[in-house]
Chains A and B, each alone.
Chain A
């Protein structure tokens, strides 16, 4: 029986991983829920967020607040990029065959990954933890890095903010309405095009923010786009595509299964997650908190 301090540390590490995944997967799920497009390029937005954060840190140099400006700047830049892509490219795909949408977003993945290689090269880049959050404190026999604590608090804060936005505001009600019946909403005089762009901007913002925030705990390398999109897909499949709290639940489950899975199957760490996804797909194809698709 491993001691409790260790189990606590393990579950904390799973929780931290879950919060990063939630940031990225919630944007993916939101865009699918409202626009009905599975955006493969969401992972590329995340990767570009990390690279942009690196770039801004380089520009600002030794400014102690440089990381925070970088995180904000990266999220905003990616949001703008997402908005432009929606306005000029995605717009032509609504209502098109799913295959076209997938091919198009996949093409975007290739283009953006090559663009990143041209701009930043193929080497590993690194961003330091922001000053003040570099250390760690001991809690119940486990070291908790301050930065991880920050991410653990930020995740639920953003979730709550979004939940309030979706349920308590007019835009939130419109977004939920657009997810249910786009044409009816348009007929009622709502500018659906603008709403769609808005949703895409918000989703991209979350991806860019996720990428910027992961930079201090990971090397920034080509290929991180594909890596995250696979994980984000697993999360939304487990939680239920398009379901907000489902994404949160999916991320939490993913994090814990990965953290404890390595204790049970040390050689097959990733296996436990895929096994879980398979079980969910068999028993509840629409995910833990998703709604069954009407046929």
Chain B
């Protein structure tokens, strides 16, 4: 009985302590991200990127004299779950801002939550055009990832330089696959009118057996292929395509959207990787001609993750947090309306150089790294060499 009284007294004392003044309270950032299931492979390093930034900014005293607190929640790569945890973050935790989501299903869903609650939401990774399409745009949604249009067009710009005429495509039959493929096909026809699209294959998302699709495509004798079979699915695809002579038939003129040349993807496949194909990545720790800020960032990330070959996904959330903090600084406030206004046309010096969020569609001119994969004796997995950062500013509209 007595112990209980003491406990209650203690609790009462705790409740009686006056809350710290507002200025010392941390700025809360809600962070919905897939942290379990297959998508956690990318969600985990994405969380780490944001954590690294928060650690760095807090060490410098935070922003407006306040620290930043990151509240991560598992969105399970599922739109409903992402909405549920975002609502919980906004209503129960009273977060000031939302940063996060990975898939193109989660991004637009959380955007609705941001609109309802009038709080700024920065999407670091979802690529679907829908997220910032004119009918879906609202004052609080911003994106620092490339869009499907930008990704498809970047690839078209590269393929236009190849000496190829007969082009085929293979993509999953769902939003991302369709959108990025359409962007590629439309752009390549515009900038290189001589090319012919000889074949288009549409396996279902997560197809287990690509052999019939590969045979059907080879029968049309393309000399180059655009693929958006992303991430781990590319492992299965190329394991089946290689012995069928697919890559030899197209002389390795395959270019893949969906980060198939990221260090994570080439590492996962090791000796099985069809070295010679082209691909893209958000980042590459081995980037030779990177801006000086990148080398420094990579060293810090490497230390933070305790990994000599740190993830290529962390950069996206690092950038998103950078934009948020710069906007808070510019606005001199954590009021979402003021921060949203500050984000319009804001330019930030990121590890990949200067990036700007356009006022008209809230979209950053974020490019990606593209290159041909080669073996390099320095690494136990394939790397991109030469590798270029394709700046999409010219062809965003």
Interface residues of A (CB under 8 A from B): 2-3, 6, 9-10, 13-14, 16-17, 122-126, 128-129, 134-136, 142-143, 145-148, 216-219, 221-224, 227-228, 231, 258-260, 262-263, 266-267, 269-270
Contact = CB atoms under 8 A, between A and B. Distances in A.
Given A219-B233, A266-B201, A6 B239 contact: no
Interface string B72-96: 0000000000000000000000000
Interface stretch (B47-55, B207-215, B358-366): B207-215
B98 to A, nearest CB: 24
29 contacts: A9-B219, A13-B211, A14-B212, A17-B209, A17-B211, A122-B36, A123-B41, A123-B232, A124-B268, A136-B243, A136-B244, A143-B243, A217-B240, A218-B239, A219-B232, A219-B239, A222-B37, A223-B206, A224-B208, A231-B208, A259-B212, A259-B215, A262-B216, A263-B216, A266-B200, A266-B216, A269-B203, A269-B212, A270-B204
A2 B231 CA distance: 32
Closest 6 A/B residue pairs (Cβ): A145-B243, A124-B232, A13-B211, A219-B235, A6-B219, A259-B212
Nearest to B202: A267
Given A10-B215, A17-B211, A219-B239, 7 more contacts: A13-B215, A123-B41, A135-B243, A145-B243, A218-B236, A219-B235, A262-B213
Interface stretch (B109-117, B179-187, B269-277): B269-277
B40 interface: yes
B38 A122 contact: yes
B173 interface: yes
Contact of A221 (B219, B232, B272): B232
Nearest to B200: A266
B332 interface: no
Contacts of A134: 243
Nearest to B36: A122
Greatest chain A CB density within 10 A among B36, B209, B231 is at B209
B272 A13 contact: no
B291 interface: no
Nearest to B43: A122
A269 B204 contact: yes
B245 interface: yes
A38 B187 CA distance: 51
A122 B34 CA distance: 12
Interface residues of B, number: 36
Nearest to B37: A122
Interface string B223-255: 000000001110110011001110000000000
B236 A143 contact: no
A216 B173 contact: no
A9 B38 contact: no
Contacts of A6: 215-216, 219
A44 B328 CA distance: 50
Contact of A126 (B38, B204, B208, B239): B239
A61 to B, nearest CB: 14
Nearest to A138: B245
Given A6-B219, A222-B38, A267-B202, A143 B270 contact: no
A258 B236 contact: no
Contacts of A146: 243
B236 A219 contact: yes
A270 B38 CA distance: 23
Contact of A9 (B37, B173, B202, B215): B215
Greatest chain B CB density within 10 A among A17, A142, A216, A217 is at A217
Contacts of B211: 13, 16-17, 259
A31 B233 CA distance: 32
Nearest to B249: A143
B216 A143 contact: no
A24 to B, nearest CB: 12
A270 B172 CA distance: 12
Given A17-B211, A269-B203, A136 B37 contact: no
Contacts of B201: 262, 266
A233 to B, nearest CB: 15
Contact of A227 (B41, B208, B240, B269): B208
B380 to A, nearest CB: 14
B3 to A, nearest CB: 39
A187 B233 CA distance: 53
A157 B190 CA distance: 55
Contact of A13 (B36, B212, B233, B270): B212
Contacts of B207: 269
A258 B209 contact: yes
Interface string B141-167: 000000000000000000000000000
B235 A126 contact: yes
Nearest to A10: B215
A128 B272 contact: yes
Given A10-B212, A126-B269, A136-B244, A217 B219 contact: no
A17 B240 CA distance: 12
A147 B211 CA distance: 13
A10 B217 CA distance: 11
Contacts of B206: 223, 227
Interface string B23-59: 0000000000000111011000000000000000000
Nearest to A146: B243
A125 B267 CA distance: 10
Contact of B202 (A16, A227, A266): A266
A145 B219 contact: no
Contacts of A219: 232-233, 235-236, 239
A129 B244 CA distance: 14
Greatest chain B CB density within 10 A among A13, A148, A267 is at A13
A128 to B, nearest CB: 6
Contact of B239 (A122, A136, A217, A262): A217
